Amino acid sequence: MIGIVTDSTADIPKELARQHEITVVPLQVIFGKEKFLDGIDLTPGEFYQKLRQVDKLPTTAQPSPGAFEVVYKKVAETCQSIISIHISEKMSGTIRSAQIAKDSLPDLDITIVDSGYVHSPLGLMAIEASRLARKGATKEGILQLVEKFKRSLGILFLVETLQYLKMGGRIGGAKGLLASMLKIQPILTIKEGQVDAFKNVRGWNKARQVMLDTMGETLKADGQAVIFVGHSDSLQEAEELAERCREKFAPRELNIWEIGSVVGTHVGPGTLAAVYFNEFRPDG
């Protein structure tokens, strides 16, 4: 049996993680002197409520190597091999901690994978890897699946305000002010493991339409599309986008996932994301 491990930035709903027997290692969110384990000590709702009340951005911290050691030892009690799939190395030091833990456990068969993503793309990789593992797939087959996901996924997202990117030092104050004055709405993506600009448009509604149009360049309206809509404390917006996706693409699967506290620290409340690909069934 192959055990699947990921981290809390995958934002996998707890019930799904249990259902697919995925072990999730939490990152930390730090408000001043208060430390919270992502998804354990602090729910997304509680996090966004706190975030709106602070004038200084909280910080986040990767799991310690020791936390990974504990998890790997536990998973190894019932699994011969472990595949540990994590947030992009360009976004977090989580993989570095996992590697240190692996090196300290030379008797265990552990493969660490840089997903190149965060949030639901990472979560999807972990879930599909678990599905294959429980069907008896080989480690090589599962790793091939992960690589196929990397090439197949599309992701676009909108941030409601540049405030949190500015507070986190991602943009300069003048640039943020200019964008606000011109009502420019940046559409962002993840490219080569890090957040990248996709396109700037005027206004939120126009940005949502551009997202849908861009998705239409890839997705086939034949009932085979898979779409995940992500949101940070903006369920109504997510439901509206999901309905438009349903009407336009008639997807085989459409889900709404909440963006957790670690990712939410950097994008803020009101973020809207779409993750999409045409369904495929990997070998194995």
93-134 pLDDT per residue, tens: 999 999 999 999 999 999 999 999 999 999 999 999 999 999
Q: Could you tell me the pTM of the whole model?
A: 0.91
Which band of pLDDT confidence, cut at 50, 70 and 90, is reported for residue 178? very low
Burial degree of 205 (CB within 10 A; 0-12, 13-18, 19+) = exposed
- C-alpha pair distances (Å), 214 with each of 210, 251, 271: 6, 16, 18
Q: Does domain 154-278 have CATH number 3.40.50.150?
A: no
Q: Which residues contact 130 (CB under 8 A, 6 or more apart)?
A: 4, 20, 21, 22
Place of tokens 């889900």: 255
Residue 256 bridge partners (DSSP): 229
Q: What is the pLDDT of residue 181?
A: 47
Q: Which residues contact 214 (CB under 8 A, 6 or more apart)?
A: 154, 156, 187, 198
Tens-place pLDDT, residues 45-98 = 999 999 988 888 899 999 999 999 999 999 999 999 999 999 999 999 999 999
Average the pLDDT over 226-237 and give the result. 95
CATH 3.30.1180.10 residue ranges for the chain: 154-278
CATH of 2-27+62-152 given 3.30.450.20, 3.40.50.970, 3.40.50.10170, 1.20.272.10 = 3.40.50.10170
Is residue 62 within 8 Å of 94, Cβ to Cβ? yes
CATH 3.40.50.10170 residue ranges for the chain: 2-27+62-152
Place of tokens 């809207």: 272
Q: Closest Cα to residue 118, out of 41, 251, 12?
A: 12
CA-CA distance, 179 to 197, in Å (whole number)?
14
